[in-house]
Each structure stands twice: as structure tokens, then as C-alpha cells.
Amino acid sequence: MIKLENLSASYGKQPVIGGACASFEKGKLTAIIGVNGSGKSTLLKAMLGILPCTQGNVFIDGAELSALKRNEIAKRAAYLSQGKEAPDMTVGEMVLHGRFPYLSYPRRYTKKDRSFARAAMEQVGISGLADKPLHTLSGGMRQTAYIAMALAQDTDYILLDEPTTYLDISHQLELMAILRKLADNGKGVITVMHDLPMAFDFSDEIAILHGGKIICKGEPLAVATAPYIKSIFGVGLKYIAEENKYIYSGI
């Protein structure tokens, strides 16, 4: 479990997250939602020490974040940022870098690392792309390659910052299906999202970030019917039971 205790973080002197408390479990897909500027990306970075916390604590499976070295954090939780560079390397080379936290002297990847990378690519169905340069891939395929890299990291948790951004709808759905499968297979998946119906359709839990705090976290149906959805987002959500999906309402 990743547990946040009164977590605060800021950019310079500007506080962005102020006293966030929540816990995220393995085997669950949790979507963090909030309006622009609410601090979703900041929260994700602060959860793994990518951005330093100004106050409070994070515990990953009981271990205090501040006591862990960078590579020890990376062995527990993978992180994929919103911006996805397309460096001049092949998919296979990038996925193999998912094994970086496990590198030791003489700092060369081992057969075991290569087998992890192969398995990760198989898991998300991109084994055939191993030799393709990243910059030749579509946005969706590139995103999938990044997820394979996170899988090669062999962590219990994966944190993703708006993974569906810039993808067309079919690739968004494919990506969410992959994340859903990862959670069903036991990983804790925590993802920042903007598309509310998609977040509610695929997630086990929804966390609403507002004013630097997580003001609500729970199962999608309970959160969807909460009164502040409309006041925060300017739209409501309606659950269609027959189709087991959510749509916007009150637009």
C-alpha cells in the first residue's frame, strides 16, 4: 500500500499540494481526477520523491519514502511522466532500461534483465516492435512501449500522469484496457486522468484532488453521485446501469 500522510509539495514558494492524505492499494486501478492546476501531476511526483515533499510522509509498503534511495523507490514503484520523449533508441533498448534500478557493477544488463524486458513487451503485445526506433511509432504505440518499460521495472505499483493525453479514442481505450488488466493481475495502478467517464468506467477507485487536498476517494458509483462533482467540474456524471458505463450529465 502507498500511504500519504499529510503530504505537502510546492513549486518554488507556491504551495500546490497541502496536506493530502490517502492510501492506494495493490490490485486496484485508482484514477486521480481534478480540474487543471489542482496539482494532480505534482501529487504523483511527490508520492515518489521526484518532487521533494515540503511536509508530511509517504510510505510504500510500510517503508518511509525519505529513507529510501532513488533506485530502491524505483524497485517499488514505476512512474511515467506526461511528456513522452521519443529518444533515438529502439523499443527493445528503451524497455530494457526498465531494469536500470537493478543494475550493479559492471553496469551492464544481464540475461535476466533481457528476459524481463522480453516478457514485458509480450505482456502488452509489442514484441514485434522490439527493433523499431521509438520515433517511428504512433503516439499510442509509444505509450505502450513506455508501459512495457514500467513493467520491466517489476514493481508492485505503476503511477502514470495522464497516459491517454494525445491519443485517439481507440488507443485511449486500448491503453485503459491494459491498465485494467495490470490491476487485475495484482499491480497497484494509479493514474491521473482528465476524461471523467473513462476514469469512472475503468477504475476501482476515484480520488478527487481539489485545493491541494484529496477531498474524496471511493468507488466510482459513490463518487459519481456525490454533490460536489458538478460544483468542481461544472458537469455531472450519470451511471447507465444497463451498459455499465458513465456519461456526462447536465452539460
| Torsion angle (degrees, nearest 10) of CA 37, 43, 49, 50 | -40
Q: Does residue 45 bind another protein (CB under 8 A)?
A: yes
Surface-to-core class of residue 42, CB atoms within 10 Å of its CB (0-12 exposed, 13-18 middle, 19+ buried)? buried
85 belongs to the binding site for another protein (CB under 8 A):
yes
Site string for another protein, 100-129 (x = CB under 8 A): xx-x--xx-x--------------------
Element (H, E) at 159: strand 157-161
Does 70 engage in binding with another protein (CB under 8 A)?
yes
Residue count at the site for another protein (CB under 8 A)? 43
Q: CA angle, 58 as apex, 56 and 60 as ends, to 5°?
A: 165
Which of 1, 19, 25, 86: binder of another protein (CB under 8 A)? 86
Count Cβ atoms within 10 A of the Cβ of residue 223 and give its class: 0-12 exposed, 13-18 middle, 19 or more buried. Answer: buried
Q: Is 79 in the site for another protein (CB under 8 A)?
A: yes
Measure the CA–CA gap between 240 and 138, rounded to whole angstroms. 33
Q: Does 83 bind another protein (CB under 8 A)?
A: yes
For another protein, the binding residue among 2, 29, 58, 78 (CB under 8 A) is 78
Supply the minimum distance, in Å, between the C-beta of residue 196 and another protein: 25
Which of 87, 186, 211, 218 is in the footprint of another protein by CB under 8 A? 87
In DSSP terms, which residues pair with 22 in a beta bridge?
A: 4
Q: Which residues form the interface with another protein (CB under 8 A)?
A: 45, 48, 50, 69-75, 78-81, 83-90, 92-94, 97-98, 100-101, 103, 106-107, 109, 131-136, 146, 149, 153, 159
